[in-house]
């Protein structure tokens, strides 16, 4: 698990395609690796990767075909900057929100403009993810925990303050850029709770969703 608070900006040092998947070498810049061991998780642009080698100035990670299918990693270039965050520990402060490091899909930067010292972005989400994005709710963009300013269909707006722009790769975003999106986990679990989607009740007549009748039955509202 992660917090969505970026700890350092690193860069892609090497990319090797191996039998259909990828091995990625990253330089980690100011990220403190003294407490990182082989097998530990580090989020790279919001994607949870496992350190399989620790050469000293960074780490090496294997990227599966599943990860390549849901991210823009196949378009990475050597020297490209990336957002980095080490995994959450029990003593860490939860400054952002709970982030799994499992990308839900790719969004696209539609518009960018300056707003005083901030940068405002309009992004487009895939239609199957937009229902999880809410005004003043949380979303993760390339590993950065952000608050949604406005929602209009598949489009949503973000305000990036100077500190976030300085400490992440977001200052480099231009229209057309693809970004990794991870929606708020609470929204996903709430949808499943309310609709019962994803459950296998083929042999059961029991309704899996929440209704007014069920809420009344368990004492949450009067009949």
**Pairwise CA distance, residues 186 & 19, whole Å:** 37
For the residues 154-173, what does the mean pLDDT come to? 97
pLDDT of residue 90: 72
As to burial, measured by CB atoms within 10 angstroms (0-12 exposed, 13-18 middle, 19+ buried), residue 205 is exposed
**Pairwise CA distance, residues 121 & 211, whole Å:** 38
Rg of the chain's alpha carbons, rounded to an integer?
20
Residue 147 or residue 192, greater confidence = 147
Residue that has been written with the tokens 């069920």 in this structure: 214
For the residues 19-38, what does the mean pLDDT come to? 95
- Residue 44 CB neighbour total at 10 angstroms: 26
Q: Find the distance separating the first CA and the last CA of the chain, reported in whole Å.
A: 41
Residue that has been written with the tokens 């790279």 in this structure: 44
Confidence of residue 187 (pLDDT cuts 50, 70, 90): confident
Give the mean pLDDT of the chain. 88
Strand partners, 50: 41
Q: 59-63, 97-101, 194-198: which range is least confident on average? A: 194-198
134: CB partners within 8 A, 6+ apart: 148, 151, 187
pLDDT tens-digit map of 102-141:
999 999 999 999 999 999 999 999 999 999 999 999 999 9
Confidence of residue 220 (pLDDT cuts 50, 70, 90): low
Locate the domains of the chain by residue range: 8-86, 188-217
Query: For the structural domain made of 8-86, what CATH number should be given?
Result: 2.40.30.20
């Amino acid at each position: 698990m992660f917090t969505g608070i970026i700890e350092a900006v690193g860069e892609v040092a090497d990319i090797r395609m191996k039998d259909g998947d990828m091995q990625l070498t990253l330089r980690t810049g100011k990220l403190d690796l003294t407490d990182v061991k082989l097998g530990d998780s580090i989020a790279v642009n919001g994607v949870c990767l496992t350190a399989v080698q620790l050469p000293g100035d960074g780490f090496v990670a294997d990227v599966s075909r599943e990860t390549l299918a849901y991210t823009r990693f196949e378009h990475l270039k050597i020297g490209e900057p990336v957002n980095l965050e080490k995994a959450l520990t029990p003593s860490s402060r939860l400054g952002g929100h709970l982030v799994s490091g499992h990308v839900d899909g790719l969004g696209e930067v539609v518009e960018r403009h300056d707003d005083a010292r901030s940068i405002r972005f309009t992004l487009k989400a895939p239609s199957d993810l937009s229902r999880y994005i809410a005004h003043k709710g949380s979303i993760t963009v390339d590993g950065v925990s952000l608050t949604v300013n406005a929602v209009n269909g598949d489009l949503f707006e973000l305000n990036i303050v100077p500190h976030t722009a300085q400490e992440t790769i977001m200052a480099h975003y231009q229209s057309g850029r693809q970004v990794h999106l991870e929606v708020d986990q609470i929204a996903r679990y709430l949808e499943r709770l309310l609709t019962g989607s994803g459950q296998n009740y083929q042999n059961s007549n029991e309704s899996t969703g929440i209704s007014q009748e069920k809420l009344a039955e368990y004492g949450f509202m009067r009949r």
